[in-house]
Amino acid sequence: MEKRSEKESKINSLSDNDSQAIEVLINKLIQIKESSEISEDSVMNMESVVFDILSMSSRHQKLLLRWVKQGYILD
């Protein structure tokens, strides 16, 4: 049986999916930087990055609120 303190230490760790999504976003930003040209493609990539970051932020805020309501201790 898992102790509550162990659960609390794991509760706010970044998921594997989020880690992979962040890597993809970093690669997209690097591609935009390296192209050094403003184009329709680069604008679409930037919009995609912003949308993905906002989605991740919203999801994390919902999780954080849920954990606080359940009484977990957060940093």
pLDDT at 1: 63
Instruction: Using the predicted structure, report yes or no on whether residue 60 has a pLDDT greater than 70.
Output: yes
The H-or-E segment that residue 11 falls in is helix 4-11
| 9 within domain boundaries | no
pLDDT at 8: 64
pLDDT at 44: 93
Total of domains in the chain: 1
| 61 within domain boundaries | yes
| 4 within domain boundaries | no
Comparing C-alpha atoms, which of 62, 60, 25, 64 is closest to residue 46? 25
| 75 within domain boundaries | no
| 74 within domain boundaries | no
| 43 within domain boundaries | yes
User: Which tokens sit at 42?
Assistant: 């680069």
**Could you give the angle at the alpha carbon of 16 between the alpha carbons of 47 and 10, nearest 5°?**
125
| 1 within domain boundaries | no
Tens digits of per-residue pLDDT, 1-28? Answer: 667 667 666 666 778 898 999 999 999 9
Range of the domain at 23: 15-69
